[in-house]
Amino acid sequence: MNNMPIVVGVDGSDASLAAVRWATAQALRHGLRLCLVYADNPPPSYGPVTADPLAMDQHRRDTVNELVRAAAAEVPSEVPCETEIVSGPAVPVLRAASERAVLLVCGSSGLGAISGLLAGSVTVALAGHGTCPLVVVRGEPEQPDAPVAVGVDGSPASDAAIGLAFEQAAQRGGDLIAVHAWTDTVFPVGAYRDAYLAVDWELLDQQAHELLTERLAGWADKYPQVTVRRVVARDRPAHALLDAAKGAGLIVVGSRGRGGFAGLLLGSVSQAMIHHAPCPVMIARPAAVREPT
């Protein structure tokens, strides 16, 4: 049993409770424990204070404790679970927690930028800065045996995503949909028309199939129980992945892709999945690359 927990960011919102339920199912599949983390960062006070500050602070603390207890109540007794209330803003608190986690899980949205913790901007920041894979829980509860979809582009983060996707598909007993979209270029008419016509699309399509085959090599041997459906599309990567992932229970992507600038911490495809995916999204880190054995 892995000694590292699944860390879940909680803030009392429905989205964070959905994250707890998703993480609980993951813990049961993998024999892991949970750690529910609440980042306690009270908003500053503005204007005159008419109530007793000590009483107000105690009320806030009681409310926080109740929110954390409610989140823990979502976890069945057979799953080891601990809770932590940590002082500080959500992003640094959860980023630090990710350093000792096998997985960081959060909701796609929270209570808001002022009163809550896991608003969309926080989720995006965690996706770009965490040290372990991040799962953003979106959509409806997944159906049994729902497939896992993975975006493949040949980058180190994509290679990490492939390994995680095979592992998840094997645990769920479902198929794996491996998607490689080999162009995100839109050729306008006019000056670029001749360049568009000069492209050897058949050769590019062949190379795209070869890349996907190469990147999947070895993983199918390690996970023979996983049926792989390969999708190669001449399309924008985010659009192709969302289209192929209809009905999926999980989408796995890398944190940065082949086209990202070195200074950007989150790729455009990853951001698109966070905001638009119909199901939970797992974001892999390049450091998580594991060769199939």
Return the minimum-mean-pLDDT range out of 42-56, 110-124, 197-211.
110-124
Q: Which residue has the tokens 């204070």?
A: 49
3-state secondary structure of 258: coil
pTM: 0.84
The torsion angles phi and psi of 257, rounded to 5 degrees, stand at -110, -170
The domain locations on the chain are 6-137, 148-288
Residue 111 has pLDDT above 70, yes or no: no
Mean pLDDT throughout 275-291?
78
Q: What percentage of the chain has pLDDT greater than the value 90?
A: 46
Pairing type for strands 6-9 and 34-40 reads: parallel
Per-residue model confidence as pLDDT tens digits over 24-80: 999 998 999 999 999 998 766 655 666 677 887 888 889 999 999 999 999 999 999
Residue 112 exposure: Cα atoms within 13 Å on the Cβ side: 4
Pairing of strands 250-254, 134-137: unpaired
Decide whether 6-137 matches 148-288 in CATH topology: yes
Question: Which residue reads 């050897």 in tokens?
Answer: 200
Q: Are 65 and 114 in contact (CB under 8 A)?
A: no
Two structure tokens written together for 257:
């892709």
What are the structure tokens assigned to 181, written together? 């979209």
Q: Write the CB contacts of 197 (distance below 8 Å, at least 6 apart in sequence).
A: none
Instruction: Report residue 20 as tokens.
Output: 């707890």
- pLDDT value at position 188? 55
Domain 148-288 carries which CATH code?
Answer: 3.40.50.12370
pLDDT surpassing 90 at residue 144:
no
**How do residues 167-194 score in pLDDT, each as one tens digit?**
999 999 999 999 998 765 555 555 555 5
Span between the terminal Cα atoms of the chain, in Å: 20
Query: What per-residue confidence (pLDDT) applies to 260?
Result: 42
Lowest mean pLDDT among 32-41, 99-108, 110-119: 110-119
Q: Whole-angstrom Cα distance, residue 232 to residue 253? A: 16
CATH of domain 6-137: 3.40.50.620
